[in-house]
Amino acid sequence: MISLHALLRYYEEIGLITSVRSSEYAYHMYDEDTIQRLQQIIILRKLRIPLKEIKTILLNENAALAILSFQKKIVDLDTEIMAPHNCPYDIGRST
């Protein structure tokens, strides 16, 4: 399994994200736009979209807006799924 550090460096290497580095320290820093872009990449990877296609998608402003909409819907669905009162079945009772 690849480490998060290696994954972030790879995404930088292929141009999906950028980081800010200071000469005062060796750490890579990410701004809010990059964090949002990483979240979009995660959504697209969950949909099994290859990185080459993700790069093309993220360059298209309209597609990036669509991803934001998908992201909100995923959060809404996750919340709905996790809410115990939404379960139509009485899990504790056997049939």
| Within a domain: 53 | yes
55: CATH: 1.10.1660.10
The total number of structural domains that make up the chain:
1
* Owning domain of residue 46: 4-85
Per-residue pLDDT of 2-49, as tens digits, reads 888 899 999 999 999 998 877 777 788 899 999 989 988 988 888 888
Residue 93 lies in a domain: no
Within-domain flag for 35: yes
pLDDT band at 86 (very low <50, low <70, confident <90, very high): low
The residue assigned the tokens 């872009």 is: 37
Residues 25, 21: Cα–Cα separation, whole Å: 8
In a domain, 95, yes or no: no
pLDDT at 92: 57
Q: Nearest Cα to 10, choosing from 31, 28, 32?
A: 28
- Separation between Cα atoms, residue 11 and residue 51, nearest integer Å: 9
94 part of a folded domain: no
**Is 0.75 surpassed by the pTM of this model?**
no
Residue 24 lies in a domain: yes
In a domain? residue 92: no
